[in-house]
Structure 1
């Protein structure tokens, strides 16, 4: 079954961490950012990351999914080139990846591969 790699078995967490994980997952469910499914084909472990202010942020370990995806023949452009190419433009926008979740819609057919 893809995504179920014996090299990355299901993680067990300390009871206090599990409680914090549950709270975070309930917040994501309530906000509609994630949904419950049964019998996933793919499965990824979660990685709780403790923030400086003491709260837990839930990250997902997608190493198996990354290995299974075809590699792009074209590398990402250099950030300096991207920024230089914006000179003379009226506006420049960046996504804030530091203060919270950024939800980008994905194709429904690919959503099953992001199960955790």
Structure 2
């Protein structure tokens, strides 16, 4: 018999007596971690900084503003300025605004407009476009009260006039403001369709983007549109 040869017995009795599934003793763990010092648990400075940065919640940029009253307690004339300004700059700005407080329009009464004997503007309309009377749009009760207050202000300032049986009727489009007030707009889409188009229309948005990029790169100032 070759001493280097190995004999494997594949008898069923041998396999049954030697199961291949190992048995675990959970009462006696086979590994115990060594106690570490507190110095070993400290994270590196760069890793700690990155983890701290991940915990920060990124909020949209919103400049904090401060409301300044240029009038009195009875007649308020409030403006908003940046709260991050230096105290010296802020005081000079408030002093400048108070010096020229009379040039601002604080109400509709401060905007009387021009006399019609001096200038009068009329909208040109195409003859082939018939007048359009839009159907009345219903609004919520709370929004209707704000619209009524705004219309009353314009009526008191002689901005509005009553007309009977007008050929053109357009609905009011209220736009809520951040301060809770309402901006009065009018749906003039039908009137715009009846107006002749300008020979030189306003530039497209892609042209405005090019102008903004060129102006910012040359002058270092942002391009602002209204």
TM-score, scaled to structure 2: 0.32
Residue in 1 aligned with 2:198? Answer: 72
TM-superposed CA distance for 1:58, in Å, is: 1.1
After TM superposition, the structure 1 stretch with the greater mean CA deviation from structure 2, 69-78 or 19-28, is 69-78
Q: Which of the numbers 160, 182, 199 marks the counterpart of 1:56?
A: 182
TM-superposed CA distance for 1:32, in Å, is: 1.2
After TM superposition, the structure 1 stretch with the greater mean CA deviation from structure 2, 61-70 or 33-42, is 33-42
Residue in 1 aligned with 2:133? Answer: 4
Distance 2:201 2:148 in 1: 37
TM-superposed CA distance for 1:54, in Å, is: 0.3
SS in 2 for 1:36: coil
The reply on whether 1:20 has 2:146 as its aligned counterpart is: yes
Superposition CA RMSD, Å: 2.2
Runs of 4+ residues deviating >4 angstroms? 77-80
Query: Gaps spanning 5+ residues in structure 1: where?
Result: 85-96, 98-116
TM-superposed CA distance for 1:14, in Å, is: 0.9
Q: Which of the numbers 164, 169, 172 marks the counterpart of 1:43?
A: 169
Q: How many pairs are equivalent?
A: 80
Q: Which has the higher contact order (CA 8 A, sep 6+)?
A: 1
Distance 1:76 1:61 in 2: 20
Residue in 2 aligned with 1:31? Answer: 157
TM-superposed CA distance for 1:61, in Å, is: 0.7
Query: Gaps spanning 5+ residues in structure 2: where?
Result: 1-129, 216-225
Distance 1:75 1:18 in 2: 36
SS in 1 for 2:152: helix
TM-superposed CA distance for 1:76, in Å, is: 3.6
SS in 1 for 2:160: coil
SS in 2 for 1:35: coil
When Rg is computed on C-alpha atoms for both structures, the one with the higher figure is: 2
